[in-house]
Amino acid sequence: MLITIMRISAEMAKAINDQISYEASSANAYIAIGSWCERIGYDGSAAFFFEQAAEENRHMLKLIHYLNGVGAESIIPAVEKPPSSFESLESTFQFGLTSEQKVTKAIYDLVDMAEKEKDRFTYSFLQWFITEQTEEETLFHTILQKFDLLGRDKLAVYQIDQTLTSVRSQVMSKQTSQK
Ligand code: FEO
């Protein structure tokens, strides 16, 4: 019989499982926002949020693979029902930014814990998430800035919605060129 030895602490495994749960909640919330956008006719934003949900799923899987790889048990969480309607298009991006800021804080807490435990595996693994969170917060800030620049009347919101197909690649290529 193969005996698996866990190479991180039980506390760290629990904290990473909590992170899996945050990523799953984010994925669900972004699907709910995408669905609301699709119903209203904000096609660019719908595509943006569905892609964002897919990103969160990839983050969740990355954490699951990590836990399984270090001999810990990953737990697939039940998730809360997200909101199904939103005040405005701008409020959906505000929701996204707040949610990303919470995830960033949770990642920082994990990094602090890894440092404290001298858990080099986890510390190194988490560096990818720090870079990813910087990109995600920048992405939401960039979109929210457009409401200040272009305005909030129907035509401005329509124009903002239409730019969303390209905004992700613009932000990502800017971030990559800064590395
Ligand atoms: Fe996976 Fe957007 O945090």
The least confident of 8-17, 61-70, 116-125, 167-176 is 167-176
User: pLDDT band at 3, cuts 50/70/90?
Assistant: confident
- Domain at 10-178: CATH architecture: Up-down Bundle (1.20)
Q: Is the CB of 29 under 6 A from ligand 1?
A: no
Q: Is the CB of 26 under 6 A from ligand 1?
A: yes
Express each pLDDT in 139-175 by its tens digit: 999 999 999 999 999 999 999 999 997 777 777 777 6
Determine which residue's CA is closest to atom 1 belonging to ligand 1.
56
3-state SS, one letter per residue, for the chain: CCCCCCCCCHHHHHHHHHHHHHHHHHHHHHHHHHHHHHHHCCHHHHHHHHHHHHHHHHHHHHHHHHHHHCCCCCCCCCCCCCCCCCCCHHHHHHHHHHHHHHHHHHHHHHHHHHHHCCCHHHHHHHHHHHHHHHHHHHHHHHHHHHHHHHCCCHHHHHHHHHHHHHHHHHHHHHHHHHC
Q: Is the CB of 161 under 6 A from ligand 1?
A: no
Gap from CA of 3 to ligand 1 centroid (Å) = 33
% the chain with pLDDT above 70: 97
Q: Is the CB of 63 under 6 A from ligand 1?
A: no
Gap from CA of 84 to ligand 1 centroid (Å) = 20
Q: Could you state, in order of their start, the residue ranges of all structural domains in the chain?
A: 10-178
Q: Is the CB of 13 under 6 A from ligand 1?
A: no
pLDDT score recorded for residue 1: 65
Express each pLDDT in 14-28 by its tens digit: 999 999 999 999 999
pLDDT score recorded for residue 26: 97
Show the tokens assigned to 51.
């892609």
